[in-house]
Amino acid sequence: MWPGVMGEIYIPDLIAIVLLRHHDHATYDLIREQKVYMIGRGPAGPENRTQIGRRILESIPIIRRGDVSELLARMFPAFAKNQEIQFLYHGGAAHVLAGRRVYDPDGFDAYFRFAPPADEISVDQLRQVADHINDEAFLIALMNEVMGRTRADGTSVNG
């Protein structure tokens, strides 16, 4: 993954996102779905922000909730502000630590580009398409199935 994002991302944020993806997948999915909240641009209303923050916190297993919530607060200043978490910031000056932070609106998507959402077309399905490229009935059935799907946020996969 590194060559595709080198110089574009902040290494500690990338490591944290990958660890969340593998060990706290529900939290990872919520962070990914709540980009506007995580980068500090919404949603409107403190009640809405509190509710999203609570959902994220509750997605973390209790045994790790303190550590993971502190990690998220360090990664996402908006999360820290909305959860009223305070700590000292440490910013590294080393060249290897250069790059956009995950909370940067222009950098957020770079941290998630190599792990498609679970509700997207999977690599296995793409392999099936390649294996059945000349099977018109298979392709039509797959396209109809995909066109009928909705994402976790309720939007259509095809649109």
**Annotated domain spans of the chain:** 2-111, 116-159
Residue 92 in this model has a pLDDT that exceeds 80:
no
Cα separation, 59 vs 109, in Å, equals 21
Cα–Cα distances in Å, from 154 out to 59, 77, 151?
A: 20, 28, 5
Question: Coil, strand or helix: which one is 9?
Answer: strand
Question: Coil, strand or helix: which one is 67?
Answer: helix
Cα separation, 28 vs 93, in Å, equals 28
Quote the distance between the C-alpha of residue 137 and its chain's center: 35
Question: Coil, strand or helix: which one is 69?
Answer: helix
Beta carbons of 52 and 40 less than 8 angstroms apart: no
The rounded percent of the chain whose pLDDT value lies above 90 is 25
At 21-39, the pLDDT tens digits run 988 989 999 999 999 999 9
Give the model's pLDDT for residue 60.
93
Range with lowest mean pLDDT among 8-12, 50-54, 88-92: 88-92
| Model confidence, pTM | 0.67
Range with lowest mean pLDDT among 41-45, 62-66, 91-95, 127-131: 91-95
Give the model's pLDDT for residue 59.
94
Cα separation, 84 vs 50, in Å, equals 10
Taking CB atoms within 8 Å and a gap of at least 24, the contacts of 41-46 are 41/78, 41/105, 46/82
Beta carbons of 120 and 157 less than 8 angstroms apart: yes
